[in-house]
Amino acid sequence: MSEETILQFGGGRFLRAFTDLFVQQANEAGQEIGQVVVLQSTDSGYAEKLNAQQGRFHVAVRGIDRGERVDTIQEVTCVQRALIIQRQWEEIVALACSPHLRFVISNTTEAGLTLAADDARDARPPASFPARLLTLLRARFEAGLRGVAIIPCELRERNADLLLSLVLSQAKAWQEREALLRWLQEECVWINTLVDRIVTDRPPNYTLFPEDLLLAVAEPYALWALENKPLPGPFPDLPPILRVPNVEPYFLRKVRILNGAHTALLSQAMPRGYQTVQEALADSEVLTWLKRLLFEEIVPTLEGRVEDPKTFAEQVLERFANPFLHHRLTDIAKNHRQKVQVRLLPTYEEYKARFGKTPPLLEQAIAFHPEGAFS
Ligand SMILES: NC(=O)c1ccc[n+]([C@@H]2O[C@H](COP(=O)([O-])OP(=O)(O)OC[C@H]3O[C@@H](n4cnc5c(N)ncnc54)[C@H](O)[C@@H]3O)[C@@H](O)[C@H]2O)c1
Ligand SMILES: O=P(O)(O)OC[C@@H](O)[C@@H](O)[C@H](O)[C@H](O)CO
């Protein structure tokens, strides 16, 4: 199927090795999902690279899966084109009014799920991601077309509900019509999700497809939990994709354990001068600290609330040790303060409330500021 059915805010390595790879695999399995158009929000430059490569790139899946070594590579060809929001807004508005469009997928990081002060209704484009989305959906509504499914991948609790509330706030600030507000809530489907797969750039020693500037490296593990609401068209149906009544327990377990451990690890690894997660965990002192954090402070706050947090934490340690990944600490340190708020502080507060004392390792991790680590 050659129609462009998916509008994707963001084309970073995570979306390439996760949603795009799934769309590719589903298309190859005859599921007829359609093609993706990537929208570049920042000046990261990947749109030019994607277009120069005719939308094609490779995903290497590398690691150990149930004791077996996995080292595969797959070409992804489902990205039709990439558009730059600042320069090609009118083309993007036209695409939003395509009858073929069914899904809007996003990964705009922690920075994307906020409104900008004084965003102008007639700006082309508006400044914030929610205001841009509102403008595109309004164009679609005014064209008399059916709603779409909005599937955010940002690691925020109830990410779709949050995005909808931001879109509605912006719509009220712009005094949009009631009919549009109803259409957004009743004709569009807002799907809360939880994503999980560690994705890194090409490691220095990986020599396949040297001409591919967009090659991403992923671990074999992948989980995409999506709220099970009716969708406007075929969506990838693959083993890593779970349609569930409620994504909350998946979010809580993954973000508090895996992302919490990553963010906390910086406090031990950066001052020691390590560059990657794998290097840091080869240091037995750092590994022991991380295990204590996980099993003495994080897992106890999740017992009885999510399924088997201890086993999940053990699996996370194995995933972190994946010798084929080159996971840079500087990538994990981006937007650090916002990550601490979501990934560590709630555990800290819940630990104090549940056990009546301060968790010492979490306290250390929360006090750490990566900017100061190199000074
Ligand atoms: N890499 C992973 O292992 C992984 C796994 C799960 C989730 N994630 C999510 O991916 C994000 C990081 O992405 P990546 O690993 O692909 O890194 P990346 O640097 O390759 O891509 C970052 C993406 O975020 C977008 N972005 C950054 N700032 C933005 C802003 N202010 N407004 C709109 N968009 C913005 C960029 O355009 C790009 O698409 C994290 O926030 C996390 O939520 C990453
Ligand atoms: O991608 P970030 O910057 O939000 O967080 C860094 C890592 O914790 C994250 O990328 C994990 O590897 C990922 O969330 C695993 O699913």
CA-proximal residue: ligand 1, atom 34 (nearest) = 108
Atom of ligand 2 nearest to the CA of 339: 4
Atom of ligand 2 nearest to the CA of 255: 14
Do residues 279 and 322 make contact, with C-beta atoms less than 8 angstroms apart? no
Do residues 74 and 23 make contact, with C-beta atoms less than 8 angstroms apart? no
CA-proximal residue: ligand 1, atom 17 (nearest) = 12
Q: Which of 14, 36, 133, 343 to mutate to test the pocket of ligand 1 (most atoms within 8 A of CB)?
A: 14
Q: What is the ipTM of this complex?
A: 0.96
4-246 matches 249-374 in fold: no
Q: How far is the CA of 339 from the centre of ligand 2 (A)?
A: 10
**Tokens of residue 170, six digits:** 């912006």
Q: How far is the CA of 40 from the centre of ligand 2 (A)?
A: 20
Atom of ligand 1 nearest to the CA of 109: 41
Query: Tokens 């086993």 correspond to what residue?
Result: 311
pLDDT at 103: 98
Q: How far is the CA of 219 from the centre of ligand 2 (A)?
A: 12
pTM here?
Answer: 0.96
CA atoms of 194 and 118, how far apart (whole Å): 31
Instruction: Tell which residue, 304, 301, 306, 305, has the closest CA to residue 357.
Output: 301
Would you give the DSSP letter of residue 124?
Answer: S
The contacts of residue 185 (CB under 8 Å, 6+ apart) are 164, 168
219 pocket-lining for ligand 2 (C-beta < 6 Å): no
CA-proximal residue: ligand 2, atom 5 (nearest) = 332
- Name the CATH superfamily housing domain 249-374: N-(1-d-carboxylethyl)-l-norvaline Dehydrogenase; domain 2 (1.10.1040.10)
CA-proximal residue: ligand 2, atom 12 (nearest) = 198
Q: Which ligand is nearest to the CA of 214?
A: 1
Atom of ligand 1 nearest to the CA of 16: 16
258 pocket-lining for ligand 1 (C-beta < 6 Å): no
185 pocket-lining for ligand 1 (C-beta < 6 Å): no
CA-proximal residue: ligand 1, atom 23 (nearest) = 12
Q: How far is the CA of 333 from the centre of ligand 2 (A)?
A: 10
pLDDT at 44: 87
CA-proximal residue: ligand 2, atom 11 (nearest) = 198
109 pocket-lining for ligand 1 (C-beta < 6 Å): yes
153 pocket-lining for ligand 2 (C-beta < 6 Å): no
11 pocket-lining for ligand 1 (C-beta < 6 Å): yes
CA atoms of 108 and 278, how far apart (whole Å): 26
Atom of ligand 2 nearest to the CA of 262: 8
320: buried, middle or exposed (CB in 10 Å: 19+, 13-18, 0-12)? buried
**Tokens of residue 40, six digits:** 């570049």
Q: Which ligand is nearest to the CA of 221?
A: 2
Residue boundaries of the structural domains of the chain: 4-246, 249-374
pLDDT at 372: 54
Q: How far is the CA of 276 from the centre of ligand 2 (A)?
A: 13
Q: How far is the CA of 255 from the centre of ligand 2 (A)?
A: 9
DSSP of 209-273: STT-TT-EEE-S--EEEEE----SS-----TTEEEES--HHHHHHIIIIIIHHHHHHHHHHTTTT
CA atoms of 373 and 271, how far apart (whole Å): 5
**CA angle, corner 237, sides to 324 and 14, nearest 5?**
35
Per-residue pLDDT of the chain (375 residues; tens, 9 = 90+): 789 999 999 999 999 999 999 999 999 999 999 999 999 998 888 999 999 999 999 999 999 988 899 999 999 999 999 999 999 999 999 999 999 999 999 999 988 999 999 999 999 999 999 999 999 999 999 999 999 999 999 999 999 999 999 999 999 999 999 999 999 999 999 999 999 999 999 998 899 999 999 999 999 999 999 999 999 999 999 999 999 999 999 999 999 999 999 999 999 999 999 999 999 999 999 999 999 999 999 999 999 999 999 999 999 999 999 999 999 999 999 999 999 999 999 999 999 999 999 999 999 999 999 875 443
CA atoms of 91 and 122, how far apart (whole Å): 16
Do residues 169 and 116 make contact, with C-beta atoms less than 8 angstroms apart? no
252 pocket-lining for ligand 2 (C-beta < 6 Å): no
* Domain 4-246 listed as CATH 3.40.50.11540: no
